[in-house]
Amino acid sequence: MNPEKENPLPKPTRAKRSIACNFCRMKKVRCNGGIPCSNCLDHGEVCVSASRRRARLNNKDAANRDMAQRLARVEALLQAAESERANSPQMPEFLRPLDVAFQRTTNVVEDADLAPRESSTASPHSQFLAQTFNKAGREESLSVPNLTSPTNVGERLVPNIECGNTCTVQPSASHRETSIPDMDFTQDSTMALRPMNVSEAPEALIPDQIGVLQPDIPPPDYQTNPMVSSNSSPSEKQEVNSVYSCESSNWEYHGPRSFLSICSKPGIQWVSQKIGTSTFHDAAGTLTRDVTRRLKIEKKLSKERTPEPPASVAWKYAQAYFERAPDAVFGVVDKSWFNARLQNQLNNPGIDEDPAWYALRNAVYAVGCRLELSRRANFREAYRTAWSYFENALAVHTELLYFRTSLLAVQALTVMAYYTECIGSPCLEYMLVTNAARLAYSKGLHRQPVPSWDLSSSEQCHRNWLFWAIYCLEKNCCCRAGRPSAINDDEISCQIPTVAPAGAPASIQYPTSLVKLAQMTSRVARVFSNVQNWNKSPDVLADTVEKLHAQHVETEKSLQDLVNPEIPLENANLPLHMSLQQACFVRLTYFNTTLDIHTALTNPWSHLRQHPTIHAQVQKSTEIVARTVRATMLTTQSIRIDASTPVLLAFQTPIYAFINLFIHILQNPDLPTVPTDLALLEVGAGHFARLEFATESEVPIVFAKEVAALARQAVKNHKAFPQPSFGQPTDYNEFGVIQEKNVVRSGEAERDTIGSPLDSSYSNMFDFELDHWTTFLPLHDP
């Protein structure tokens, strides 16, 4: 017997793949798994196959454990915050925040499918979480906003938590317990709860590590954000209300010195507490909408250029510009030079292709057209016709900044900026005048010419007046918006000319007065916008206000009756070559700076009114502010309103004074001057009604009418339901200011003027940390 036949050797087996090769899969034929396979051998193909997929790991259990830990940490944070506030005094009900973004309720959602109720030790918040997961039936991302709890509210404020099926639960104050639940997931996706001490809870995560932040959840209310401590750096105070840029790319910043600071969240809360209702929130929203919708162009510019006017119309527009344009008093454009070049342009159209000259003459057309049509046409016609020429100038804006240019480009940008500073145009002056200032810097206009430059006296005079025209508008725009200036006063050596610019009236009193007032405005802005000054003591601040006021009064001496609030403008002796509209401009510019100086001590966000060591200065500032706003309201009756009226006359200073008069009434509802002040509020509301009428409802400011009604109702309510005096003075002088003898002395409790005592944590909101009152305003759709 052959042993080899009895025990045959096993035949070698060929290795086979676990998946078909790419060729067989593409042809959709059976693959024998060979390397290479028979199909690839028959067709001469390279036999390759995709790598085998790795088996998916079932991470459900791990994910569930992770979610349980995260929920436990959320509960630990809530419990820790609750224990810190357990002994804190509760805020009086009428001082509670009126923003209802995080509402309170004592109701707990009940669900028939909730996990077994034998876990009686679980808190209502934990039952809500268990119910949510039971409903969802699968892991859901948890949206947890800022968990920092308010420091002034006794009860629990819990933000809405959205999981799966949307549920909103705010547990009551009763869920203060000594333990929190630990959650284990069962097979039916419910959670079994067992007690767990706080000490056993996992280490707390920072808010950024908890859950997934959802963009549809609103930001926390101002009151829920921790206040900046007094020892924080100025930069931290400045950033406390900052907004992430990608979330607010269509918003614009308005600083704490802007009149719109009353529309910030703290401003709305302060007013609402004073009037006892939340209706001011709607009025503030109306004002921000009316203001911000004019800050940008609402539609794209036309790609087609508007044909330039015929010769006769062009000369008429040019003459109107040189006779009545606000910037013509500075001699921004030399009249004789412009007329000569325009004549050459009209005789030889299409020859001169200089973008700067094209922009300048179209800007002059736009200004002159609006001035001419404002006399005989309606507002909309004047706006549309003039805007078409301005679009021509704006079409070459890029060439003015980034191509080789001469002084002509600076002139063109300046005229364009002054054009948009009137109510008959979108408010683009902030960006345009900033560009003009930068270009002026590049041409050395901020420096006094030296002999080596080889400039004639007329050229030096024109350069200097051009720079100061830019300076005046730029400082006014920055003051209005509460933003930093692009012009540094310490780098300016350019002198104020002592002779009139070519082609302008012989008197230089009007443009010189505007320059001096702009310099004072810049000085005030540099002091109060410097974040380093916010940490100064009250005595230093009061001394600063007194010194600035003394400097401001020096300007008043040269202007005499023009800025005296005790003399009505119609009874004042106007200087030669100064129109009534120009006199109004000087007067309101002076009043605007006066308010900038003294509202540092009288505004609601300053808690310095009750400081005993500076009471004399606070009393003086209150008197000056009250007198100034009353004079402003009366001056509005002398303002001519049409499409060419400057924004400072038609809107900026009137609304600034109106808001401060409103604040003055709310702070002092018992003053004997309140009835006349309420009447002046109605006068101010009448000015804005006249503005709406003159602009054919293109510039509606219904805010004034609503606020005047709120002020009258607040005073009426205060008389019907007077608050306890809390030692408040009752004697007033002839200006409606508290007499010195009744000042609250040191050692006495500091109290709000018509409110109850504020605890230390809540009163921080009214400290002199001005950046809490900054606002980011959305650009509303038209």
- Structural domains in the chain plus CATH codes: 13-49 (4.10.240.10), 66-224 (no CATH), 315-504 (no CATH), 538-741 (no CATH)
Comparing CA positions, the residue from 398, 428, 403 lying closest to residue 416 is 428
Write the pLDDT tens digit of every residue in 44-66.
Answer: 888 888 766 655 555 566 778 87
Residue 252 per-residue DSSP state: E
Residue-wise DSSP of 170-190: ---GGG--SEEEEEEE-TTS-
Euclidean distance between CA atoms 42 and 36, whole angstroms: 10
Contact of 91 with 154, CB cutoff 8 Å: yes
pLDDT at 660: 95
Contact of 525 with 257, CB cutoff 8 Å: yes
Contact of 318 with 311, CB cutoff 8 Å: no
pLDDT at 54: 59
Contact of 674 with 680, CB cutoff 8 Å: no
Q: What is the pTM of this model?
A: 0.66
Euclidean distance between CA atoms 283 and 270, whole angstroms: 14
pLDDT at 603: 79
Residue 9 per-residue DSSP state: P
- Which residues fall within 8 angstroms of residue 731, CB to CB, at 6 or more apart? 738, 739, 741, 742
- Which residues fall within 8 angstroms of residue 135, CB to CB, at 6 or more apart? 111, 113, 164, 165, 167
Write the pLDDT tens digit of every residue in 544-602.
Answer: 999 999 999 988 888 878 888 888 888 888 888 899 999 999 999 999 999 999 988 88
- Which residues fall within 8 angstroms of residue 117, CB to CB, at 6 or more apart? none
Euclidean distance between CA atoms 85 and 88, whole angstroms: 5
- The owner of tokens 């300016």 is 492
pLDDT at 638: 94
pLDDT at 521: 95
Element (H, E) at 193: strand 191-197
Write the pLDDT tens digit of every residue in 120-132.
Answer: 444 444 454 444 4
pLDDT at 302: 84
pLDDT at 69: 83
pLDDT at 607: 64
The list of the chain residues with pLDDT below 50 reads 1, 3-5, 89-126, 128-231, 234-249, 725-773, 776-782
pLDDT at 89: 46
- Which residues fall within 8 angstroms of residue 190, CB to CB, at 6 or more apart? 115, 130, 133, 134
- Which residues fall within 8 angstroms of residue 53, CB to CB, at 6 or more apart? none
- The owner of tokens 């805007």 is 387
pLDDT at 538: 84
